[in-house]
Amino acid sequence: MKLISQDFSPRIRSVAIAGNDAADVTVRLDLSTVPVFKQQIPAAIGEAENVILDLSNVAFVDSSGLGAILSCVRDLTASGGDLKICSVQQRVMVMFDLVRLPKIIGIHEDVDAARAAFGG
């Protein structure tokens, strides 16, 4: 797993979760990959306040992946920023739906929609 950051403005940065092969759309954010995610995410976010987490390559998120995402949200909101999620595959969306994640995190169709939601 690797995280690919892209800046849209000084305030908004997207972080995409990708596999070692960029075309891999079956990346899992679960018990086995969460340690890698947690290790890389501070550098991937850097100084950005508002982060778009691009899950287009992620096919599966389990409870530990959910925990890791929530942890990012917590850190960003504590420093006045926010996290939005975009490009969620169907199975991941079912999981988010089951835990009612949309009630606390903005989940968007794609990166553009998420940027628009950040007002940038």
Partner 1 sequence: MPLDNFLIKREHTLLRSVLDHSMDAIIAIDSDSTIIEFNRSAEEMFGWSRAVAVGNYLHEMIIPEQHRAGHLAGMAYLRESGIGPILGKRLELIAQTSAGVIFPVELTVSAVDGEMIYVASLRDLTDRKLAEKHIERSDRLFRAISTASQQYIREGNVDETFDIVLNEVLDITESEYGFVSEVLYEPTGEPYIRTYALTNIAWNDEMRAIYDAMAPNLEFKNLKTLFGTVLTTGEVVISNDTATDPRRGGLPPGHPPLDRFCGLPIHHSGELVGMIGLSNRPQGYDIEMVEFLEPFLAACGNIIVTWRADKARVLAEAERKSAHDALEVARRREAEISAVIQNSLLLRRKPVLTPHGMDVGVSIMGFTAVTGDYCDFVTFNDRFDIVVGDVMGKGVTAAMVGSAVKGQLHRVVRRLQERTMLFGRHPEPQEIVGGLQSVLTPQLMTLDSFVTLTYAAFERRDGADSVTDITIVDAGHTPILRIRDGNLPHWLSGDNVPLGLADREFYMQNSHQVEPGDVYIFFSDGVTEAVNPDDVPFGKDRVEQVSVESVRARYDSEQIAAALAKAVMRWTGERIDDDITIVVVKIDEAPSCVVVRKERAYCEFPVESSERNGYADFLETYLGDVPGITDYDRHAVIIGVTEAVNNIVEHGLLFQANQRIQLEIEARIADIQIVICDRGREYAEPPIKEIRIDDNRDRGYGWMIMRRCFQDVALVRNPLGYNILTLQRKVGSVSGDVA
Residues in touch with partner 1 (CB under 8 A) = 30-32, 60, 62-64, 66-68, 70-71, 73-74, 77, 90-91, 94-95, 97-101, 104
Smallest gap, in angstroms, from Cβ of residue 62 to partner 1? 5
Smallest gap, in angstroms, from Cβ of residue 11 to partner 1? 20
| Residue nearer to partner 1 on the CB measure, 8 or 71 | 71
Which residues have C-beta within 8 Å of that of residue 110, sequence separation ≥ 6? 86, 87
| Residue nearer to partner 1 on the CB measure, 6 or 32 | 32
Smallest gap, in angstroms, from Cβ of residue 94 to partner 1? 4
